[in-house]
Structure 1
Amino acid sequence: MHRIAYLLPEGFQVMALATQAVFELANLMLDQPFYAVETYAMGGMARASAGLVLPATPLSARSKADTWLVAGNLTPQEPAAAPELIRLLSTVAVSARRMAGLCTGAFLLADAGLLDGRRATTHWYWAEALQQRHPQARIESDRIYIADGTIWTSAGMTAEIDLALALVEQDLGAKVARSVAHRLVMHQRRSGGQSQHSEMLRLAPRSDRIQLALEHARRNLSRPLSVEALAEAANLSPRQFSRVFTAETGQSPAKAVEGLRLEAARLMLESSRHPLEVVAQETGFRDRRHMREAFLRGFGMPPQAIRRGARAQP
């Protein structure tokens, strides 16, 4: 049985505990207990930032687990973690198969010396602080999660679920991970290379009709997406749709669709080996040249440079 151990520091953020549902449902999919989940804390008591107090197994040098998931808190730089906690974290890491920092839990891994020379991520708000505190680590502020060897780190909140699903996929395969995501009613299971910043979230329309139009666009990027087609999805006239869309998102429909296409194309470039012509076709650009022009406007660099940067990372 694979032992999953949660380390909860003082003031931990309760979202970390939501990831336990991933391992619980994986057991359910298998009809047998593959994972055993345990919770550890200094002194045997864990207090969350929201005030919740949980009993836990006292952390010691003899604590053992296959995978440790280290929770973070809302203000990771103050106060600093207790030296004894960092010492014990370094000790238990020696015998573990994997160590994972959930959100700002990456600060604890870094304090324990586990991120030295490694790629890692954390919540975008705290990425610069983590890099300054640990210049020997390579912090990437725009990733959902990163696995560098046996050390895993994730962005904040919901990205912790994506990391937990990736752990399940590594252990049990993609089919089980997809089934768990489906049971969790996840709209989308994100890869580690995906950006922390979502174009859909940035547009943030207020009305359901504009949201429906954007969802229609996201699902049909490879097709022509005229104002008339989007207006039909929103059940509005083209003129009324353009006016309402711009008022709610601050962008024209054409500009918003280009942003969605850029986001999808960048992900394909970073996570696949498809030729540029295929990436352009799948994400709705007229051709490779059209996609290049959009990348220069949106990212300030051509698609080839983004792909080279992704491949250059270990």
Structure 2
Amino acid sequence: MDRHSRPPGRGTPRLSVGFILAHRFTLGAFANFVDVLRLAADEGDRSRPILCEWTVLSDTMRPVASSSGVLVQPTERLGDPAHFTYIVVVGGLIDETPALSPEHTAYLHRAAAARVPLVGVCTGAFILQRAGLMDGYRCCVSWFHHADFLEQFSGLTPVSDQIFIVDRDRLTCSGGTSSAHLAAHLVEKHVGRAQARKSLHIMIIDDALRAEKPQPGIPLDLTTTDEIVKKALLLMQQNIDAPLSIADLSRRLGVARRQLERHTHSALGLTPTDAYKIIRLEHAEFLLTTTDQSVTDIAAAAGFCDSSHFVRAFKARRGVTPSVFRKSGA
């Protein structure tokens, strides 16, 4: 829906967002952001752009392919960026996201000159950085792309332990559902808290998370540039509730068990088993601080065979039981 389809007789929306979609952008992150705006814009879920408006901008008006192959048709050509409250750049696949066209890049620089805040969603932070628009700003990237950012932008350290960051007129988020929380932050600021909460509740998302909430994911002290270990950590992350054996992990990676153990020890100073346990316990900590699930359910979600085993492992790592940890608000 674009801003030209606003119901007749309505005033100017309080929040207007122009989207620039990178080739192979992440559809879920884009959809989450738009749906928060859509649900906050009108009564119920009628979707009329009354309090908020949104449009997809383009220099060519050709459909843009998402990472899932779904095409999105832009609705407005690049014009005056000052017409928008925010310009949002949605990135996607790290290896398949080319630099923006010169027209898009020039448009973003015009927006920055006009003091229109720029937002990077998912790998949108990479795109803004590549365009020279993040100098002196803190930026948020997913833990999944932390090492990629360090490789591409030497000397710059992104924040990968928060869901989003607001640094003056630059806003960045890690993608996924964090884009809904960032959008809710903007709705709360410009439209109202009730509308922001309404959007999230209709989307079956808990109340808005603040920027400093941690990202669920591989602990940052386990990041590495070793490709074998990176792939092993991602497999572990994807198999938390039903942990793979180290033999199965090696088989999936196509390497010998001894080779995996050697690489993991060299990269992390840990055995694969110890690295896996840290990931599972970090996931348990996230559930303890963000859900009301029982300790027994969290133990199962973190891949422990019973709650007593989980409690012993957790206490060995944190010095307190899961229940005490939860009560402390750590």
Could you say which TM-score interval applies, normalised by the shorter chain?
A: 0.5 to 0.7
SS at 1:146 equivalent: strand
Percent identity (aligned): 20
1:112 is the counterpart of 2:134: no
Partner of 1:4: 17
Of 164-173 and 133-142, more deviation after overlay is shown by: 133-142
- Among 51, 63, 66, the alignment partner of 1:48 is 66
| Contact kept? 2:23, 2:97, Cα under 8 Å | no
CA distance in 2, matches of 1:131, 1:119: 14
| Contact kept? 1:71, 1:104, Cα under 8 Å | yes
Q: 1:77 Cα shift? A: 6.8
Unpaired segments ≥5 residues, structure 2: 1-12, 219-236, 243-283
Q: 1:258 Cα shift? A: 8.7
| Contact kept? 2:143, 2:217, Cα under 8 Å | no
1:148 is the counterpart of 2:167: yes
1:219 is the counterpart of 2:219: no
Q: 1:71 Cα shift? A: 0.5
SS at 1:147 equivalent: strand
- 1:54-93 to 2 correspondences below 5 Å: 54-57=72-75, 59-60=77-78, 62-63=80-81, 64-75=83-94, 79-93=98-112
| Contact kept? 2:37, 2:187, Cα under 8 Å | yes
- Among 19, 38, 43, the alignment partner of 2:55 is 38
Q: 1:257 Cα shift? A: 7.9
Closer, same or farther in 2 for the Cα pair 1:249/1:137, shift >3 Å?
farther
Q: Which has the higher contact order (CA 8 A, sep 6+)?
A: 2
Of 122-131 and 63-72, more deviation after overlay is shown by: 122-131
Q: 1:176 Cα shift? A: 2.6
Partner of 1:95: 114
Partner of 2:31: 17
1:247 is the counterpart of 2:305: yes
Q: How many equivalent pairs are there?
A: 248
TM-score by length of 2: 0.61
SS at 2:179 equivalent: helix
- Give the letter for the 1:205 counterpart: D
- Give the letter for the 1:176 counterpart: Q
TM-score by length of 1: 0.64
CA distance in 1, matches of 2:88, 2:215: 20
Partner of 2:270: none
Unpaired segments ≥5 residues, structure 1: 235-240, 265-279, 286-290, 292-302, 304-314
1:284 is the counterpart of 2:303: no
Q: 1:190 Cα shift? A: 2.2
| Contact kept? 2:22, 2:91, Cα under 8 Å | yes
CA distance in 2, matches of 1:53, 1:88: 23
SS at 1:119 equivalent: coil
